[in-house]
Chain A
């Protein structure tokens, strides 16, 4: 008896280890396969799902999709690493949702390939892709209660009733909705629906999770809470996640990497810090964060802007018509008498002051007529701001002095 159990446990561990390699989520019910094997496999799969690194890498190669003359996706290629949280960020109509629909299998691309791990899924129908998805409006089935919604993917996979109940209970615990299984969908608040949608998308242990602006319907406070929660859940479960949003702050908060997309093409792909601190173009600098731009003149190997010679930490780049990117929070007001040695200094007159609680946003008009925005944290230790019309000197560290090509 004891010996037998030990051997069973040993076998289970071996299967478990094997499954951690080539497995694509819990296998959807395939015709002709005996039920008890599926159930067992699924149960084992669940055990492995709790570990980090079980996500499947995604490889997108040369995807194109046109609607008539409009190119929604224009030769898009990208690799998403196993377990990575990648955000597709772009304005509306940029193609980010189309790409997600192609990944989920709801849109057939005109050209290109999609690979999940080693499998080419370009032609696979949605129900065979085994990816979880959170829809923008959640798409919770209104004719089923919460437990019915969560249990549906498990029912499709032929799991037994008691096991479904157990896993639904655990999924509800995971999204902090314990005991709400019998609720109807229309009895839930927006935040609760969001959690149910998330739980339904991950309950069958997919190794890839797709999210289409899942938080856009929530109010600001709840949205920020959910951002952290989704992030934590991702860390815990480790599935490869592709997240679509038009909210740049959300993208920076949540992602390992951000892919900025516009007019069906990737404009820049990189970590949040890199995207924000080292924008590759005016479009990126404008779309992510607040920025003012100053035209830069290149003269004899030196860069001039706003009447000052710029000190650059990386040397003068070779571009046709560079712009200086000024992030409001990177500009520091110099105290009277401070000379700003080793810093780039811009002098001008305060044009407008906007008190915003934690900080004050102010606009400065430079001698040439250009207007730039700056921000000063509300702190008694900061030098006092002059009133409207007063002279002010703004300092910018060479490391924060970024030049970008004008592409917008």
Chain B
């Protein structure tokens, strides 16, 4: 089930997007659920109650609480880094603060069906990719962690530290084996001691990355060029 929210104070826009999505999901046989909100407050209240979505089509120019504030709430207060946000705007000039909540895309009004469908497919691909499970052993016990919650792995002596959105774990193991298990979920080895989740990187620099938990990790000099190439490859594949 892929869960989508549409939030716009113009009911006409909401129903237009909803129709496009429903038609497409019927044609392509997709399992989606759509919820419509006519104000930022309504959406926020729903999110605060612990409900989540995979994808939100969010109007920027909402009354009272605007789309940027809603986005900030999702990323900062609710600490959800993986909910995909597509901003809809009547204007088409954007400001830097709109990019800080890391939207997947901006859509100008009037809405085009092809754009909505493209964004839906991209969001589904991303969510799909993060749907994996990482397993590790500690003593006799096998543990399982959702890949989407892993921020990064760090090798400390003969142990591996997993930093997740929920906390930290240590287990005996090699970073190389970890990499073999998670490489297909877009993890990047930026350093001999660090493997990071591409989708949990909040800011890229040539020599370092800032993770979604605000930690800054170095990219070793010998890996910088390769990491740059990898980003280009992901971009070509449309991974964001």
Chains A and B are bound partners: no
